[in-house]
Structure 1
Amino acid sequence: MVLGSGAGVIVRISAGRLARRRPPPALCELACAGVALVAVSATAGATTIGAAVFGWWCVCLSTVDVLVRRLPNVLTLGGAGAILGVAAATGHGRAAFAGALLLAAPLLITHLVVPRSLGAGDVKLALGLGAVTGLAGPGAVILVALLPPVLTAGAALFLRLRAIVRGGGEATPQVLPHGPSMCAAAVLASIPMG
């Protein structure tokens, strides 16, 4: 928990610099402490470290995306390169590459056909998330392909209903970042079950 909170400080500072805006106080620290708790509870040994670092990367990406609706290349492509490199070095390159390709290809096609529906940052993020979930198996990749649109739509519906209840029913619907839903689904899908 202490290590997670310490990582949260680093994530908050990094996300703030990348977004050029300050994240809410203690949010990154709490999220990273939660990630560390889940990583310690669900994994063992070196896998725990990898799971925690992956979760912290997702917190940083999600924070930047929420703050500025943008996913920086240094995080998306840098993370994907690191994940694919570590997977290849440990003999799991094929599974990671297949997961990256299976998750990113449909998003790339969607982005090219209807650019306003999905950002290029989401496509780049899919490379790293697909690589990690590819290591967890085909079921994890399918979950990460199907769950994020449901999470993003659910968040949009919640925010819309909240605006209506508060008397802002005529307010223009806001655009929500899709990266946090993608990251949440990937973290969920990569947790070993049983």
Structure 2
Amino acid sequence: MSWGMVVVGGAVVPLLAWLLRRAGAPVSPVVAVAVVVAALLVVVWRWREGRWAEWWWPVPWVLTVVGVPLCLADVRHRRLPDVVTLPAYPLMATALTVAAIGGGGVTLLAGAAAGVLVFGGVHLVVHRVEPARLGAGDVKLAGVLGAVLGALGWASVAVAAIAAAGLSAVAAVGAQVPAIARRARRAEPPSGYPASQGSPNGASRPAPATTGTFPRQARDGPCPQRAIRCGVPHGPALVVAAWMCAVFPGVGSGMVPS
């Protein structure tokens, strides 16, 4: 069954990539399949090592298969299309129900429901207060992830929230490095001429075409090339934090399903 998990997961991803393309947020099916297969191999490894009970595997499987294409779409287009995010709710509910029947019990479902309300609700409040910082797609995704985290326990909810915020902060700092480097290069005088003399005929060098502080190339390029203007996507940080809690549960990241 372990290899079947990987094969089925890789087979489903092209369908999700097709849905994202129809929604105007295309991602590379090859990249999506490669990342999903690699992540599912880690899930299988953790399962076969006995790190958690067999009945838990549908949850990280759904989280991986759905989460990776959404992460790629958010990075490239700053979008989390409803065409994938909304179906993730019944898919995750089914996975959690299977896990509950398999051994998790009603307590697991109760925790999952509470996680949806708390984790999704907190992100909804942030979206209402600062809509420019957190999009509606992030709120919808947070509800799905909250179900996974709530099933693991309240420690997972707290750990994932802190980890996601930290990952987004690191990404925001990293996104500024190329822009800082571009500004530094523009400030340098041309080779062979003193900074105070400008061009050879004495005229000042024209400034590069910009809109605000962004050069024309950065303004017109895709979002990955203009990260500051588009904003740093929070969806990938949310998915990575929840995935780590689901696949590597333990001390500090929630209970171990057993």
* Fold shared per TM-score above 0.5: yes
Provide the rounded CA distance (Å) in 1 between the counterparts of 2:31 and 2:82.
23
Return the letter of the residue paired with 1:52. W
How far does the alpha carbon of each residue in 1:93-151 deviate from its partner, in whole angstroms, 9 at most, with x for none? 21101111111111111111222121111111111100011111111111122221221
Q: Aligned partners of 1:12, 1:181: CA distance in 2, in Å?
A: 23
The partner residue of 1:190 within 241, 246, 255 is 246
Report deviation, 1:7. 3.3
Q: Helix, strand or coil for the counterpart of 1:83?
A: helix
Match of 2:152 among 115, 136, 140: 136
Question: Are the counterparts in 2 of residues 134 and 140 from structure 1 also a CA contact under 8 Å?
Answer: yes
Matched with 1:102 is: 118
Query: Higher helix share goes to which structure?
Result: 1
1:77-97 deviations in whole A, cap 9, x for unaligned? 321233235435623321101
% identity of equivalent residues: 31
Amino acid at match of 2:84: L
Secondary structure (helix, strand or coil) at the match of 2:233 reads coil
Distance 1:9 1:159 in 2: 33
Q: Which amino acid aligns with 2:27?
A: P
Unaligned runs of 5+ in 2: 48-52, 101-105, 185-212, 215-225, 251-255
Answer with 1 or 2: which has the greater Rg: 2
TM-score (norm 2): 0.65
Deviating more after overlay: 105-114 vs 80-89: 80-89
Where does the alignment leave 5 or more consecutive residues of structure 1 unmatched? none
CA contact (8 A) 1:12 1:60 kept: no
Q: Counterparts of 1:17 and 1:75 in 2: how far apart (Å)?
A: 7
* Counterparts in 2 of 1:74 and 1:93: CA distance versus 1, 3 Å: farther
- 1:179 matched to 2:235: yes
1:161 is aligned to: 177
Residues 30 and 5 of structure 1: is their aligned pair in 2 closer, same or farther, counting only changes over 3 Å? farther
Provide the aligned C-alpha RMSD in A.
Answer: 2.6
Partner of 2:74: 65
